[in-house]
A and B are shown apart, each in its own frame.
Chain A
């Protein structure tokens, strides 16, 4: 314990004396902040919708570059070999290394947050949840950084390996490029990059629309981090000069790989199975009015719905906030959609109101399932159109019925008449997404979206 505290204090002092490390730790995050601020300056509140991405970049830099560079550098100097000559336990030194880096990253995050607020960002919706998400993400990536230090033989190898982890996460892992704008294969792959969960968790806490979505990403991060620290301790190298090839305990790498694959698969499965679960657990109802069974649903029934939906910024069922404007090309497409929607035949169905709502929801669901470039903006247009047809209480009842019976009725798969020409794989996927969009529309209509100055709950423009 004594050794841990002393090592922690020395680590911090040495960090503050190292100008290069300070530049990496504080200047780069601010540069990223500036870039994001320039890129997204047209948004209603600057940076707010990108804080998760910004923080994740900062954490990745400190944990997956700063930490292993320092550790491997010290190992090359023989510092860790010298430590080994003393009775100090490895656990103490690992704990102080983690704690020191945690402090460094938290200070960089606070600096970033402070500057972001100074340039006009509003306070995050749930500061405590954000702090928790930031901490868990930081610890998880510190674990990966430790593991990286054990895999790399030299400092240049750290840089190379770090890039192998960093760049894919930035580009196709949903960190620097929003997941929604990625191609289908990359979106699937993103489930396997922990960066995505860090972004999701911190973004949810910042924008505050669906805190119920927090536990999964946090759990994935915690498990990944724990497995990585464990593997790093088993593979720990005190001395420079023993190459990775001669290292014992490489079997522990299998642990971290297994965790990686399993969490990725589980996260993918979870998003898929929510609709199936809702169908299976729907309460049996006595149908009084065969054409309008939804009329018997009460506000209590609506409140009892499971509002566990994927993030609005995620791969599945994205839903752009109202003030987020698409770029010019997409704006034209949205205008076309707004113009054509009232004339679209399936949307004018006279006999069955429920099916009419389903058909219209399918427009958003198909766009999402088919990876339309404008997928995140379409649900807003559809919801606005629905509100012009039905009074709000009725619409909520119908949407609730659809969410409770996702397997009923028919789905529309061809929406090419609306200018959305991408093809969709099959009706099941559309049903899945229709279910989520039904819930997301209810969330918006009933004001369940937390009071948020950026994305107000009330929908009509």
Chain B
């Protein structure tokens, strides 16, 4: 399990290794839940992936990935291309048979009972992947017939705003409409777990916002959501927790804020003064960081925001310079992501 907050022995005062194995396993699971800051009291592990591995010939696409997702959580899977996101998702939804590892969904072993587990999952692939001449209504009816229990096309068409397109061939729909149909199809079986593969890729900003709102509504309706994305801003906005994958491994998990805090990424200071400050003074304030000067505006990065602010206040007072504007922009998830993934130069290299 990918833990961000230390081993269970950090939390309890007993010698961890002396506990019986079974008890350790139980406690580990419980403590993991407690350690999870986004945890709700009613939440329990809904999806759990343990030591998942998958090779394609000589290439190890996924190497020992472990994840737990709580019930009702929106979980984001991030990573550069080739990090193993797609393979992990494909194993989770039963499209690929992993070489090793366990996948449990709502207590069901996906590898042993694939059909039963699939009853609980709704998947929205990147494109709806439907015959061009089928209509949304027919598609919803057809896919509904594949499950033991299903919602009729009517309510789904209304919910995903497809009533006007209900009887038009899929090939005539716009990108946004297709994406909404893909989402609607993921909901025909009223799934416990919704898996979205890059739900907003290739959409215009308006359609993007609609899909994002829809994802937040899913959480409200009690669905667990797992999504993969390239869009860091989007992940930051909608996800409760995020796992960053790189070279087939989970290199970090946590809430977006935790990840930012944990990565100790620098913050950017943008300072506008009433008159130009002496560059040597600024350089001293920046403590060695490169300062960009543009007229009255100076910009530099700092890893110690408090010290920078204290130094700046003293400097301005001492030299009687008026402060026009000051911005301290927190590190973005993007910079965290780039730091984390760039630190791993080779597939076999150590974590930063």
Contacts and interface: CB of A to CB of B under 8 A. Distances in A.
A186 interface: no
B213 interface: no
Interface stretch (B59-67, B132-140, B227-235, B250-258): B132-140
A10 to B, nearest CB: 5
Interface in B150-185: 169, 185
Nearest to A80: B129
Nearest to A2: B145
Residue of B119, B121, B143 with most partner-chain A CB within 10 A: B143
B141 A6 contact: yes
Contacts of B145: 2-3, 5-7
Given A84-B94, A86-B143, A87-B146, A78 B127 contact: yes
Given A82-B125, A85-B95, 14 more contacts: A3-B145, A5-B145, A6-B142, A14-B131, A74-B131, A77-B132, A78-B127, A79-B131, A82-B129, A82-B130, A84-B95, A85-B121, A86-B118, A86-B147
B93 interface: yes
Ranked 7 nearest A-B pairs via Cβ: A78-B129, A6-B145, A88-B146, A86-B146, A87-B115, A87-B118, A82-B129
Nearest to A10: B142
Residue of A7, A88, A238 with most partner-chain B CB within 10 A: A88
Interface in A160-214: none
Interface in A364-412: none
B116 interface: yes
Contact of A10 (B93, B116, B129, B138): B138
Given A78-B125, A81-B95, A89 B115 contact: yes
Interface in A51-97: 74, 77-79, 81-89
A13 interface: yes
Interface of B is mostly: loop
Interface string A1-33: 011011100100110011000000000000000
B112 to A, nearest CB: 14
B97 to A, nearest CB: 11
B156 to A, nearest CB: 15
Contacts of A7: 142, 145
A87 B129 contact: no
A323 B132 CA distance: 53
Given A2-B145, A3-B146, A85 B125 contact: yes
9 contacts: A2-B146, A6-B146, A10-B134, A13-B134, A13-B138, A81-B129, A84-B94, A85-B121, A87-B118
Given A83-B146, A85-B118, A77 B131 contact: yes
B123 interface: yes
Nearest to B144: A6
A166 B189 CA distance: 43
Interface of A is mostly: helix
A327 to B, nearest CB: 49
Nearest to B141: A6
A14 B170 CA distance: 12
Interface string A422-450: 00000000000000000000000000000
Interface of B: 93-95, 114-116, 118-119, 121, 123, 125, 127-134, 138, 141-148, 169, 185, 189
A75 to B, nearest CB: 10
A407 to B, nearest CB: 63
A79 B146 contact: no
Interface of A: 2-3, 5-7, 10, 13-14, 17-18, 74, 77-79, 81-89, 238-239
B133 A18 contact: yes
A3 B119 CA distance: 14
A3 B123 CA distance: 18
B142 A85 contact: no
A2 B143 CA distance: 10
Nearest to A239: B95
A6 B143 CA distance: 9
B83 to A, nearest CB: 20
Nearest to A238: B95
A228 to B, nearest CB: 25
A87 B141 contact: no
Contact of B129 (A6, A17, A79): A79
A171 B131 CA distance: 35
Contacts of A3: 145-146
Contact of B147 (A10, A13, A87, A89): A87
Contacts of A83: 146
Contacts of A82: 125, 128-130, 185
B192 to A, nearest CB: 14
A228 B122 CA distance: 34
A127 B286 CA distance: 96
A191 B121 CA distance: 51
Residue of B116, B121, B141, B146 with most partner-chain A CB within 10 A: B146
A236 to B, nearest CB: 14
Contacts of B128: 82
Contacts of B141: 6
A18 B169 CA distance: 12
A77 B134 CA distance: 13
Contacts of B93: 85
A238 B94 CA distance: 12
Contacts of A13: 134, 138
B134 A14 contact: yes
B47 to A, nearest CB: 16
A79 B144 CA distance: 15
A79 B121 CA distance: 18
Contacts of B119: 87
Nearest to A89: B115
Nearest to B126: A78
A90 to B, nearest CB: 11
